[in-house]
Amino acid sequence: MLHRLFGLAALFALAGASFCSHAQQRNPDQMMGQTVLDQPAGSYRVERFVVGSADGQRRWRVNLLIPGNASSAPSPVLYALDGNAVAMVLDRSMLDQLAASKAPPVLALIGYDNERRIDSAQRTRDYTAWIDRADDEGGTQQVVGGGAFAFLDLIERQIKPQVARRANVDIQRQALWGHSLGGLFVLSSLYTRPAAFQQYVAASPSLWWSQGAPLGDLEKQFIENRAGQPAQLWVMLGGDERSGNRGVRDMANPRVVAHLRRIGGAAPDAAHALSERLSGLPGLQVQYREFAGLGHGPMLPASFKATLSALYGIADRSGEAATP
């Protein structure tokens, strides 16, 4: 399968114009710029707090969006990973619709305390429950990841209490959303602490991580030991992801080549197959949704917009083109 993958990618690279090649590859240095957090809708207010690691070396920034006209009843709360990127997806009209919904949610956008849209190095450590040993673009073996359980502890012990102090939240209606490695974090959280949240949304989960380790013992133990703790799981995947269409890639870029080599650790349709395996487990409601024509990157905004619609009933804007 890897030979076919590389052959297809190389063919696209030769045939496509360089403009398309660069347009379809994520810029790892992209900054947030101005977002709805800087000029929020009147329907929501924004509060911000920072939590740090015990050694003081690492910091996470949480942007908290709280409905301005929340009722006395506790609000559902959505914890979103890659919070800086999610802030770039939200706009005023979405917030206005959420505020007008039956139960306006609190949104807790968990990012890193910097201006990067995506902080690759930090999220690689925090979002993965498995150590990965793979060659980087220079052929040097890297040992990375494995921090998911510590990061979930931080969410439970530092972030959730701060959110509860600042907003009236319903602890029986807590949701967790993540994309890519974030989607992988959602799954490992479900497997190990199914009562931490009631709704789990795993978008384009990186099941290839560590040579497909997420498809191993942790999943099997969860299936075998499932005791019926009620939870809902959404698995979302782009149609191009499932078909294995990686689009136009710059095969002269060593980083791209190294990444394509790593993602061969799982079949392109592994997320769909996973949803089938988990369906029917006691107490677990599983919904799978596929987004026709979308690849991995565009799935971040599409899946988050779809999540707001599925959980809170606002218009589904996942079909809109992603903002550059």
Q: Residue 229 class from Cβ within 10 Å (0-12 exposed, 13-18 middle, 19+ buried)?
A: middle
Q: Which of 43, 75, 296, 303 is catalytic?
A: 296
State how far the Cα of 189 lies from the Cα of 196, in Å rounded to an integer. 8
State how far the Cα of 318 lies from the Cα of 187, in Å rounded to an integer. 22
Helix or strand run (H / E) with residue 144: strand 141-145
Among 179, 199, 204, which residue's Cα sits nearest to residue 286?
199
| Three-class DSSP category at 180 | coil
Among 207, 211, 210, 209, which residue's Cα sits nearest to residue 277?
207
CB 91 within 8 A of CB 36: yes
> Is 72 assigned a catalytic role?
no
> Is 296 assigned a catalytic role?
yes
> Is 276 assigned a catalytic role?
no
Q: Which of 21, 43, 180, 188 is catalytic?
A: 180
State how far the Cα of 39 lies from the Cα of 61, in Å rounded to an integer. 18
The Cα-based distances of 11 to 21, 36, 75, 103, 249 in angstroms read 12, 40, 51, 50, 9
Q: Which of 21, 43, 204, 241 is catalytic?
A: 241
Catalytic residues: 180, 241, 296
